[in-house]
Structure 1
């Protein structure tokens, strides 16, 4: 927890509950058809087969230190068959129309729930940190007067799975 957050928690006599499970991080997804064809399940796999992959980007990926430059540093050079920039909102449309094979994604994008269409590649060298689920705050006085409240709320939080 950041220092400012800790200070606020102490100042207002709050307690944190158990974080909800999940990870809303960055990643790379490929069409499941391409994943099966080339055996792509990790970003390391993608790096080795990049010359067969048409990459769909949104432009900024090429510049950000936590994106392609970070991928190159962790995994090695990605010599994609092609790389074209599109508006980020079009990435799944481009992939579903067969105009590209792989794209940067948020690991909680709803489209990734359909494993028949898209495969999220495992970040096997841990380039991107986990952005864990929400953490609720509760006031100490309320918690003391309702001791079962934290337990009940933690049960709700555990049901809020953010599936990567």
Structure 2
């Protein structure tokens, strides 16, 4: 089966005012100011290789403080919007990023590996028709589509199954 070009990765966001104040658009821009900032992330963030240790290794980032929150969820949103943290660990395709006054910082040194969407099927269940349909879905699912689907679920509170069904009806060629 073919992996999709769609990729949902760990990302970091700052409030727009913070981005403007410190001229931030990419992670490497944090290097001279990180020691003044508090970063928030999930409980495993301080020890996960691709979390804080990765940011230190790849970008040389040393933050003033680290707060244990969730992964871009309600605790993170509240902490970032209220100023309790300055940098938030988020998911690049989460639907609510569009409604927040945040800047998602570019991972300009590619610290985070791509995490492409990949179909998985029990081998005994895989038929040529199922392979054909899943490969068609994979070929058409991109980051913009993932974000749009997540926005419908996260912001418009639509049923995930209904959102997925509508996307398939709209984007597949009658399979």
TM-score (norm: length of structure 2): 0.65
How far has the Cα of 1:48 moved from its partner? 2.2
How far has the Cα of 1:121 moved from its partner? 0.9
For residues 65 and 51 of structure 1, the distance between their equivalents in structure 2, rounded to whole angstroms, comes to 20
For residues 60 and 68 of structure 2, the distance between their equivalents in structure 1, rounded to whole angstroms, comes to 24
Structure showing greater radius of gyration is 1
The one-character-per-residue Cα deviations of 1:40-99 (angstroms, maximum 9, x if unpaired) are 111101122213323223442111122111111111142x3x324243141111111122
Find out whether 1:134 has 2:134 as its counterpart: no
Would you say how many aligned residue pairs link Structure 1 and Structure 2?
138
Segments of 5+ residues of structure 2 without an aligned counterpart are 148-175
Provide the secondary structure at the position in 1 that maps to 2:113.
coil
How far has the Cα of 1:151 moved from its partner? 7.3
Find out whether 1:30 has 2:14 as its counterpart: yes
Q: In the alignment, which of 68, 77, 97 is matched to residue 112 of structure 1? A: 97
The 4+ residue runs of structure 1 with deviation greater than 4 A are: none
Superposed, 1:34-113 pairs within 5 Å as 34-78=18-62, 80=63, 82-88=64-70, 89=73, 90-113=75-98
Q: Which moved more, 1:150-159 or 1:37-46?
A: 150-159
For residues 23 and 103 of structure 2, the distance between their equivalents in structure 1, rounded to whole angstroms, comes to 11
Find out whether 1:150 has 2:128 as its counterpart: no
Relative to structure 1, is the Cα distance of residues 134 and 92 closer, same or farther in structure 2, using a 3 angstrom cutoff? same
Find out whether 1:121 has 2:105 as its counterpart: yes
Provide the secondary structure at the position in 2 that maps to 1:28.
strand
Q: CA RMSD in A?
A: 2.7
Find out whether 1:20 has 2:4 as its counterpart: yes
The one-character-per-residue Cα deviations of 1:96-138 (angstroms, maximum 9, x if unpaired) are 1122211112212222223x51211111111110111233765
Relative to structure 1, is the Cα distance of residues 113 and 19 closer, same or farther in structure 2, using a 3 angstrom cutoff? farther
Query: For the Cα contact (< 8 Å) 2:13–2:88, is it kept in 1?
Result: yes
Provide the secondary structure at the position in 2 that maps to 1:103.
strand
